[in-house]
Structure 1
Amino acid sequence: MSNTDRVDPALLAGNRKPLAGYQAQHFQWQVEGKVATVTLNRPERKNPLTFASYAELRDLFGQLRYATDVHAVVVTGAGGNFCSGGDVHEIIGPLVRLEAPELLMFTRMTGDLVKAMRACPQPIVAAIDGICAGAGAIVAMASDLRFGTARSKTAFLFNRVGLAGCDMGACAMLPRIVGQGRASELLFTGRSLGGEEAERWGFFNRLCAPEDVLAQAQALARELAEGPTFANGITKTMLHQEWAMTIEQAIESEAQAQAICMLTEDFTRAYEAFVARSKPVFQGN
């Protein structure tokens, strides 16, 4: 009996669905094999976000929690740039005319995008070239892994427009990636972080040639998608949850999480492949 045969169809219908056929409205969405690629696609403006693209990205990453056919995600931008942040004319201009309730609605929506990226079980690999600024830098930060180029420029430039650096989780997440002092410098000054410096600081996992950055990000995503995806999802969950735990709580939580992973068929497959001196073929269950 297969794993699917053991589960009530009504449970599967409400909690599992394919996303390969999703038709994106405000960016490009492509699925090849088990890897999805999100491409921010307004190259004439360096791929800024709008109210509509924020909301669609938030909803799509939320749906990825239930996806059966997508096991890793790549996020990139078209035309040699990643993302220039919120569109000056379509977001910044309208915001200055809003009252507090609507402004809070907007800031909660942008924060919900980061929450959805962190909550989806798929590893997210950002392929970053050129401009990566404001909300674009946040999307890169919220990804699990980041590949950049030497010519890329990453800037958390909120203070340059009169706002605090505490945007969309930056004050919580950025120090955990690059350290408190370096995060403070970026958030207080809004200066650009060049690609080579970003790699030295640990913001980028790898530097690539501009013509190769997307292909290398997709290659890593394919590698991750072929791994034990249920266990990878647990790893992502624990990396996020353990920020708020003591060491003792973290060790106990990891003991429980690992015991669950030992119940998976992928764990058995790995053992049987080791005994047979072959490579395991993981299926994510």
Structure 2
Amino acid sequence: MTLGGFEARHVGLSVEGGVATILLDRPERKNPLTFDSYAELVALFRAAAGDDETGAIVISGTGGNFCSGGDVHEIIAPLLERDTKGLMRFTAMTGDLVKAMRACPQPIVAAVDGVAAGAGAIIAMASDLRLATPRAKVAFLFNRVGLAGCDMGACAMLPRIIGQGRASELLFTGRSMSAQEGLDWGFFSRTVEPEALMETAAGLARSIAEGPAFANAMTKRMLAMEWAMSIEQAIEAEAVAQALCMTTKDFRRAYEAYAAKRRPVFRGD
């Protein structure tokens, strides 16, 4: 299934020019997640794994905010009535969202405006690239609601992005990371004004989608796999990965374009 054929009912979805845009669209509540939107996002990112027409994905929120996390009334309150098995089913599902985001071959660009809290902060973290507005605030606020900071892969991924000490501070205190801190610490690639956020994110995604899709997917895969490798293992793995990329038609297209002094047009094969 291509993402263009995916029937989304709980999040906004549009596909244009090789870029899929996902919008969390409950602005009156700062775009919280529900059981249904969680499940739909998992299904959407899993569907992306089989989509050869989409080269990059943008995820954002409407109404000046990214995502306020799990809906207090539609998720948090019902969880208080579940037994341990029921709670495990929920936490496994939330983890599946991050797994699906990391497993989909397309690079994901998070466009963060306003609040990105709880699971919203995790979605931003699990994306491959993150842009922000100056008013963005990212809060891994789990301990503020009586939970551990080790949620949906935060203790594994966040230290690798911003460092162990900074991640520890955010996860132990639950305080908000400002856009400037996020930029200084490497969480955000850049900041742009709110009115330019979506255009900038779409432009970045288009530039990625116009690149060699197989090679981009390999880069994403190796960035994830090499976390658990020694330098020697990583060099060996990258040698295999790069040799595979050299078998693609896009590699030949790049050479032929260079020889002809023109820009290559990649097709993903």
Calculate the TM-score normalised by the size of structure 2.
0.99
Other structure's SS at 2:5 match: coil
> What is the aligned partner in structure 2 of residue 27 from structure 1?
11
1:186 aligns with 2:149: no
> What is the aligned partner in structure 2 of residue 60 from structure 1?
44
C-alpha RMSD over aligned residues: 0.6
Matches of residues 92-171 of structure 1 in structure 2 within 5 Å? 92-171=76-155
> What is the aligned partner in structure 2 of residue 228 from structure 1?
212
The amino acid across from 1:155 in the alignment is A
> Which of 186, 200, 203 lines up with 2:184 in the alignment?
200
Alpha-carbon shift at residue 248 of structure 1 (Å): 1.1
Alpha-carbon shift at residue 100 of structure 1 (Å): 0.4
> What is the aligned partner in structure 1 of residue 35 from structure 2?
51
> What is the aligned partner in structure 2 of residue 5 from structure 1?
none
Deviations 1:180-229 (A, max 9, x none): 00000000000001111110011100100011111100100000000001
Other structure's SS at 1:146 match: strand
Cα distance between partner residues in 1 of 2:188 and 2:52? 29
The amino acid across from 1:208 in the alignment is V
Alpha-carbon shift at residue 89 of structure 1 (Å): 0.3
Alpha-carbon shift at residue 19 of structure 1 (Å): 2.1
> Which of 230, 235, 258 lines up with 2:242 in the alignment?
258
More displaced stretch, 183-192 vs 65-74? 65-74
Cα distance between partner residues in 1 of 2:199 and 2:110? 11
Alpha-carbon shift at residue 284 of structure 1 (Å): 0.6
CA contact (8 A) 1:19 1:68 kept: no
> Which of 213, 223, 230 lines up with 2:197 in the alignment?
213
1:172 aligns with 2:172: no
> Which of 87, 108, 121 lines up with 2:71 in the alignment?
87
Cα distance between partner residues in 2 of 1:214 and 1:18? 22
**Unaligned stretches of 5+ residues in structure 2:** none
Other structure's SS at 1:76 match: strand
Alpha-carbon shift at residue 123 of structure 1 (Å): 0.4
Cα distance between partner residues in 1 of 2:2 and 2:33? 26
Cα distance between partner residues in 1 of 2:6 and 2:238? 34
> Which of 235, 239, 242 lines up with 2:223 in the alignment?
239
Cα distance between partner residues in 2 of 1:267 and 1:226? 14
The amino acid across from 1:205 in the alignment is S
Equivalent pairs, count: 269
Other structure's SS at 2:3 match: coil
The amino acid across from 2:88 in the alignment is L
Alpha-carbon shift at residue 97 of structure 1 (Å): 1.1
Cα distance between partner residues in 1 of 2:232 and 2:185? 29
CA contact (8 A) 1:18 1:68 kept: yes
Alpha-carbon shift at residue 231 of structure 1 (Å): 0.2
Other structure's SS at 2:255 match: helix
Alpha-carbon shift at residue 20 of structure 1 (Å): 0.7
Alpha-carbon shift at residue 59 of structure 1 (Å): 1.0
**Unaligned stretches of 5+ residues in structure 1:** 1-16
Calculate the TM-score normalised by the size of structure 1.
0.94
Cα distance between partner residues in 1 of 2:193 and 2:5? 31
Cα distance between partner residues in 1 of 2:54 and 2:158? 27
Cα distance between partner residues in 1 of 2:162 and 2:171? 12
